[in-house]
Amino acid sequence: MRKNRISISLPLCLFYVLIISFTSSCISNKSVIYFNNLPDTTKFQLDKLQPPAPTVQVNDILEINIGGENEQTVQYIQTYFTGGSTMKAMVDLDGNIELPKVGKIHVAGLSKDNVKDTLTKAYKEFLVNPLIQINFGNFHFTVLGEVGSPGSFDIPAEKITILEALAHAGDLTSYSERSKVKVIRDINGNREIISIDLTDKAALNSADYYINRYDIIYVTAKKVKETNENLQRITPYLGLVASLLAIIVLIRQ
């Protein structure tokens, strides 16, 4: 009788192990909510944030419009333009762009206004009252890790928040470690890694709420994901073992 009780208890023990494993690998609701410490009010005032002033970086594509009162020179310059009156110039590895008449101009590290002033001075030799307009032709960023659709993205914008960037990548999954989002930033060779806690409302008032061009956002996965995946792999085998044990118990009765 005692032997039968032990035999009968084996499948039950295995069943309890499965239940405990599944329960311990569950994800809490709080860990998948953004900014879970926000007060439960109708309106909550956030700090005023100034988006980072973009500076020119290597591999940037600048969209440049050049005009002035010397018609022949303007026409000559515009023969280099594509798509109408706009010329696109890529910043090379030395931080320079090359333009008709003025040649190479160093622009890396400059703001749009600084580039505009630099080009205006350069073209004064050839144009009366030169008119220069500068726009960034790309906002490139990459999202990797535990997101819906990781990848690299190019969007027509000059500022973007980390939430918008994650939305482009299909948002975080239920396995994403929201408190440990990493941003790898490289601005003309000056590199840094920034940690952002998206479960904390302080992220909404952080200067890093806005990302920079060429940022790489990496989202780590919770350890529970590996546990669940391992459990899913072995569950069919455990079920088979439990069935065999149940059959053995029935035979011995």
Better pLDDT: 69 or 34: 34
Pair (164, 194) in one structural domain: yes
Mean pLDDT of the chain: 81
pLDDT in tens, 110-160: 999 999 999 999 988 888 888 899 999 889 999 999 999 999 999 988 899
Pair (150, 210) in one structural domain: yes
Q: Strand 131-136 relative to strand 103-106: parallel, antiparallel, unpaired? A: unpaired
- Which tokens sit at 223? 């350890």
Pair (121, 229) in one structural domain: no
Pair (76, 44) in one structural domain: no
Pair (211, 148) in one structural domain: yes
pTM: 0.72
C-beta of residue 140 within 8 angstroms of C-beta of residue 212: no
Q: Which domain holds residue 98?
A: 61-136
Pair (102, 35) in one structural domain: no
Phi, psi of 4 (to 5 degrees): -65, -40
pLDDT in tens, 169-179: 999 998 999 99
**What pLDDT sits at residue 224?**
58
**What pLDDT sits at residue 7?**
47
Pair (36, 151) in one structural domain: yes
Pair (43, 106) in one structural domain: no
Pair (235, 212) in one structural domain: no
**What pLDDT sits at residue 23?**
47
3-state helix, strand and coil shares in percent for the chain, rounded to the nearest 5: 35, 30, 35
**What pLDDT sits at residue 182?**
97
Pair (88, 188) in one structural domain: no
* CATH code of the domain covering residue 210: 3.10.560.10
Q: What is the distance between the alpha carbons of residues 112 and 134, in angstroms, rounded to a whole number?
A: 6
% residues pLDDT > 90 (the chain): 45
CA atoms within 13 A on the CB side of 152: 6
**What pLDDT sits at residue 115?**
96
Query: What is the number of structural domains in the chain?
Result: 3
* CATH code of the domain covering residue 81: 3.30.1950.10
